[in-house]
Structure 1
Amino acid sequence: MADTPPSGQPAIRVTTMPADANPYGDIFGGWLMSQMDMAAGLTAARYAKGRAVTIAVEGMKFHAPVAVGDEVTVYADMVKVGRTSMTIDVQAWRRGRHTEESCLVTQAQFVFVAIDKDRKPRAVVES
């Protein structure tokens, strides 16, 4: 497990809210996964220069809980590009509201396919 966040720019950053949590104040795993999917989707669409859709999430691991009020920063890194598909490594990090310390909370690989206006797979446009 990584000790420090990636050095690149985050894809998204958000503060967790009470509506994102269970009655114990822990953030729902599905909410966290949706934030990761949004970050990967932004990365895929930018790379493909158009619409791209999630087709798989591989190796999802939850390492630590996230609480209401934490800042969640999501990093997305393109690791593989096929003819129509893109594989993106995604990491979510949390930082407590009153601290500078961060920890890795979730990671996974998201696979996207570029699609055309008819929602059919299309070749990825190289950046």
Structure 2
Amino acid sequence: MPPRSPDLPSVALPADKELVLKVVPMPADVNANGDIFGGWVMAQVDLAGSVLPQRISHTRMVTVAVNEFIFKQPVRVGDILSFYAGVQHVGRTSVAVDVEVFAERFSDQGKYVKVTEARLTYVAIDATGKPQSLPDTEQTRAWREKLQAQAAAAKS
């Protein structure tokens, strides 16, 4: 087992994002240093990030970009990882999502440490794999209106 990093202060979980996934990494997921392999974390972030675009689009969505990915702290076997996602942009064919990952340490339950943050972009595609417009649904309109209101509030 890797040595414990110094205790970090517990952080508040994001109120502006939705909990979309919880998972506990296992010993099979470790790298040569004894921490959880970064590629495993990336795969979980991609799964978590895809939840909201699926809900918005009700159509096939694919990951087209990992715009940013920051590993802030190591993840350990037994950590309870909580993945929070928030839609940042709804375009004609695409949805951009921010994902924040928090670890509840096995030895320190009830305290959370931010371990990863990322922004990913998903695109709606048709049966031939070509980009297609997001359907004009109540959910799509609601997300666009919410994001426009947030942008307007930020300007004032």
Normalising by structure 1, what TM-score?
0.92
Q: Report what 1:41 is aligned to.
A: 50
The ranges of structure 1 where at least 4 consecutive aligned residues each deviate by more than 4 angstroms after the TM superposition are: none
Which range moved further: 28-37 or 7-16? 7-16
Q: Report what 1:118 is aligned to.
A: 128
> What amino acid sits opposite 2:94 in the alignment?
S
> Aligned-pair distance for 1:83?
0.3
Q: Report what 1:5 is aligned to.
A: 13
Between Structure 1 and Structure 2, the one with more strand by share is 1
Q: Give me the whole-angstrom Cα distance separating, in 2, the residues matched to 1:29 and 1:5.
A: 22
The answer to whether the 8 A contact 2:18-2:86 is kept is no
Q: Give me the whole-angstrom Cα distance separating, in 1, the residues matched to 2:129 and 2:46.
A: 19
1:85 to 94, 97, 103: 94
Higher relative contact order (Cα pairs below 8 Å, separated by 6+ residues): 1
Q: Report what 1:75 is aligned to.
A: 84
Larger radius of gyration: 2
Which range moved further: 3-12 or 72-81? 3-12
> What amino acid sits opposite 2:126 in the alignment?
D
Q: Percent identity between the aligned chains?
A: 38
Q: Give me the whole-angstrom Cα distance separating, in 2, the residues matched to 1:67 and 1:55.
A: 29
1:54 aligns with 2:63: yes
Aligned 1:86-101 pairs, distance under 5 A: 86-98=95-107, 99-101=109-111
Q: Give me the whole-angstrom Cα distance separating, in 2, the residues matched to 1:117 and 1:84.
A: 14
> Aligned-pair distance for 1:42?
1.7
> What amino acid sits opposite 2:110 in the alignment?
E
**Structure 2: runs of 5+ lacking an equivalent:** 1-9, 140-156
> What amino acid sits opposite 1:103 in the alignment?
V
**Structure 1: runs of 5+ lacking an equivalent:** none
Q: Give me the whole-angstrom Cα distance separating, in 1, the residues matched to 2:99 and 2:22.
A: 13
Q: CA RMSD in A?
A: 1.5
